[in-house]
Amino acid sequence: MTLMAGPCVAGDVDVDVVIVTYNNGTEIDTVLHSLKAGAPTLRLRVVVVDNDSTDDTLIKLAAHSDVRVLHSGGNLGYAAGINIARRAIGTSRAILILNPDVEVMPGAIAALHSRMTQTGAGIVVPLLQDLAGVRQASLRREPSVARTFGDALFGNQLGRRPGWLSEIDRRASHYRLPRPVEWATGAALLINGDLAERLGDWDERYFLYSEETDYFRRARRAGAVVWFEPAAIIRHRQGGSGGSYAQTALMAVNRVRYAQVWGTPAHAAWIRGAVMLHACLRLNQPAQRHTATILARRSRWHGLPHATPTRAAKVGPIASSSIEHVLLTRFNLPSAGPERVIRAQEGWLAERIILFERYCVPSVRSQTNQNFTWIIYFDPESPAWLRQRVTALQADGVFRAVFRSSVSRAELISDIRTVVGRKRDVLITTNLDNDDGLATDFVDRVQQADVPQHRAAVYLTNGLIVSRNRVYLRRDAHNAFCSVWENWDDPVSCWAGWHNRLGESMPVIEIDGAPGWLQVVHGSNVSNRVRGRLVSPLPYAQLFGPRLNVLTVPAHRRMLIDHLISVPTRITREALRAGVKWVAVRLFGTAGLADIKLRFVRWVR
């Protein structure tokens, strides 16, 4: 093995080794000393990212002159540490992610590399053993409701139960031969460099636990195959960063967060119930009692371990002078699907311009932070009266009108560059529908978000829904008011995909707090409907101004009835809708579902 110290080009290195440390002074020497025997003929470059250790980890690392040490600037989490290392490495042939509490057995890295070369695998995982050499059940199946309930009920009992009842693969025969697998615990994995480049950053919202589950799923969706190589043996101590009740609870909560990212609200609710059952069946264990308490109330999740940057960390809020923020609106841009039928209806444009002037434009003009540009796309065939209204509205420069019959990603980025006329460090794009509104501090809150990675989707999760002179408070983690933070190297914008599926291609940051947006339910809505709980508009008047003054203040009795009867009814309705949509997508695909919706809209109208 040859260790390459310092910067070098990708062609000089066979495998880049990435290790993230946090108070691992008792283990770091072991893993570093074991690398040589693990890759006797390969050229390695080793990067260690330290998450603000307070023990002697950094002192131990200083003795390894052939290891590049990076300081994350805080305890930013495992995924953030990997992302920092990836950006420092640049282009790579293969990246080996190792926990700091492992020991690489002779020839293990070479065996992983050989299996990747032979099969073209996107990711290869080793056979994990404990320090005594006993095999660990490290192979996993994709989490599902049945598997999560099965693990909650049976735990380590009935180890040979069917695969659909267990996420953990415990069958000894499955660990004897090389084979494709769905995923494995993230203590050690070799990733093809091209795949790592395509997938981009690891999702930092998990902080610790479930980040590898998410990464493996993204890899499989990208067409990559994951291989298990039993000839590669790595011993894993486990718990090298120190266990705690909070970490046990975080592991459980992140299983629910993973379900929220990749499943429907109904699916996530079932997973949460199964994870809660797991904790409740083990209340004799203090850690599980704590976990059940945390799971029961979402408001307690924010107190779990999370990224904590120090002053040395150059992450988090960036100076406004470094940010280019662009609001993007499709006013009547031609589109496929059921929307085109609705937009072709007589009176649609007239109704939309009224809503646009009543809610959308005033909310943008009222922003406390005016460091942004607003681009609105219009159909070139728009009627003359609409063009005249647009000309009058943009007289004060509140937005820039762009007329296109369609807009590709390349055209969108070109339009942004042309309109803003400058290039700053950070580009933020935010989607704003023409019939919705923003809280006065929306732009400021998005720009003040802590975004340590080079690209992430940002959502203000709480908002208001106005319907029939009443207002409802709703939490929607992946709402239509999505923003994307990124650099200018290869921007994709907030229109890179469906607003509720941006998390499939980039990390997601959810910002709770006061309502940040306002949706209006009206006759020509495509998808908006009443959700959330009935509230008084008075507490939110300062955020949304006179637009809420005309709304009814409901009596306490009416709000109580809504909370006890209407809210459960709406939740059940949304769960049924989500279930039907899930089945339809599985049966007909996304395109088929869109065609069904188009036929239905034509029939109704």
Give the Cα separation of 89 and 98 in Å (integer): 15
Q: Domain count of the chain?
A: 4
Mean pLDDT, residues 3-16: 66
> 222 and 350 share a domain?
no
For residue 235, give both structure tokens: 């011993």
Give the Cα separation of 361 and 346 in Å (integer): 23
Q: Which residues of 486-525 are buried (b: 16+ CB within 10 A; e: fewer)?
A: beeeebbbbbbeebeebbbbbbbbbbeeebbbbbbbeebe
Cα 568 versus chain centre, distance: 28
> Could you tell me the CATH number of the domain that includes residue 94?
3.90.550.10
Q: Which residues of 357-368 are buried (b: 16+ CB within 10 A; e: fewer)?
A: eebbbbbbebbe
Query: Is residue 122 classed as helix, strand or coil in its secondary structure?
Result: coil
> 486 and 565 share a domain?
no
Higher pLDDT, 51 or 598: 51
Would residue 225 count as lying in a domain? Answer: yes
> 560 and 550 share a domain?
no
Interval 369-383: pLDDT, tens: 888 999 999 999 889
> Could you tell me the CATH number of the domain that includes residue 439?
3.90.550
Secondary structure of 294-308 in the HEC alphabet?
A: HHHCHHHHHHCCCCE
Closest CA to 54 of 19, 23, 100, 99: 23
Instruction: Give, in degrees to the nearest 5, the angle at Cα 20 between 14 and 23.
Output: 145
Averaged confidence pLDDT in the chain = 86
Give the Cα separation of 106 and 126 in Å (integer): 13
> 390 and 536 share a domain?
yes
Question: Is the separation of the CB atoms in 164 and 144 below 8 Å?
Answer: yes
> 388 and 532 share a domain?
yes
> Do strands 43-50 and 15-21 pair parallel, antiparallel, or not at all (unpaired)?
parallel
> 420 and 530 share a domain?
yes
Helical H segments across 421-487, by residue range: 442-447
Q: Return the residue matching tokens 């390349």.
A: 410
pLDDT at 450: 78
Distances, alpha carbon 53 to alpha carbons 38, 74, 77, 146, in Å? 27, 9, 12, 39
Would residue 168 count as lying in a domain? Answer: yes
pLDDT tier at 522, thresholds 50, 70, 90: confident
Which residues pair with residue 96 across a beta bridge?
Answer: 17, 190
**What's the chain's Rg over C-alpha atoms?**
26
pLDDT at 244: 82
Question: Is the separation of the CB atoms in 224 and 123 below 8 Å?
Answer: yes
* Dmax (CA) of the chain: 79
Would residue 314 count as lying in a domain? Answer: no
Domain end residue (candidates: 236, 253, 279): 236
Would residue 351 count as lying in a domain? Answer: yes
Percentage of residues of the chain with pLDDT beyond 90: 55
Burial label, 558 (beta-carbon count in 10 A; 0-12, 13-18, 19+):
middle
Would residue 497 count as lying in a domain? Answer: yes
Mean pLDDT, residues 96-125: 96
Question: Is the separation of the CB atoms in 74 and 313 below 8 Å?
Answer: yes
> 293 and 214 share a domain?
no
Helical H segments across 155-264, by residue range: 193-199, 211-221, 245-262
> 343 and 203 share a domain?
no
Higher pLDDT, 232 or 72: 232
Residue 168 has pLDDT above 50, yes or no: yes
For residue 68, give both structure tokens: 């590049």
Would residue 145 count as lying in a domain? Answer: yes
In the chain, helix, strand, coil percent, each to 5? Answer: 40, 20, 35
Which residue range forms the structural domain that includes residue 264? 245-309
Closest CA to 183 of 152, 228, 248: 228
Question: Is the separation of the CB atoms in 180 and 124 below 8 Å?
Answer: no
pLDDT at 487: 84
pLDDT at 224: 96
Give the Cα separation of 8 and 568 in Å (integer): 59
Distances, alpha carbon 64 to alpha carbons 58, 67, 84, 593, in Å? 10, 6, 20, 57
Domain end residue (candidates: 193, 217, 236): 236
Distances, alpha carbon 362 to alpha carbons 365, 514, 546, 548, in Å? 5, 19, 10, 12
Instruction: Provide CB contacts within 8 A for 506, sequence distance 6+.
Output: 200, 201, 203, 455, 456, 457, 484, 496
Would residue 461 count as lying in a domain? Answer: yes
pLDDT at 433: 93
Question: Is the separation of the CB atoms in 48 and 25 below 8 Å?
Answer: no
Question: Is the separation of the CB atoms in 497 and 505 below 8 Å?
Answer: yes
pLDDT tier at 319, thresholds 50, 70, 90: low
Q: Residue 149: what residue type?
A: F
Distances, alpha carbon 539 to alpha carbons 473, 495, 552, 585, in Å? 11, 32, 13, 40
Mean pLDDT, residues 505-518: 89
Relative orientation angle of helices 265-280 and 286-296, to the nearest 10 degrees: 150
Give the global pTM.
Answer: 0.59
Closest CA to 21 of 221, 219, 242, 343: 242
Residue 392 has pLDDT above 80, yes or no: yes
> 250 and 227 share a domain?
no
Mean pLDDT, residues 238-264: 82
Kind and range of the H or E run holding 428 = strand 426-431
Domain end residue (candidates: 219, 236, 253): 236
Interval 422-450: pLDDT, tens: 777 789 999 999 989 999 999 999 998 87
pLDDT at 1: 58
> 407 and 459 share a domain?
yes
Give the Cα separation of 181 and 212 in Å (integer): 14
Interval 566-603: pLDDT, tens: 888 888 887 787 777 777 766 766 666 566 655 554 45
Interval 298-307: pLDDT, tens: 878 878 888 8
> 404 and 280 share a domain?
no
> 151 and 72 share a domain?
yes
Would residue 315 count as lying in a domain? Answer: no
pLDDT at 420: 87
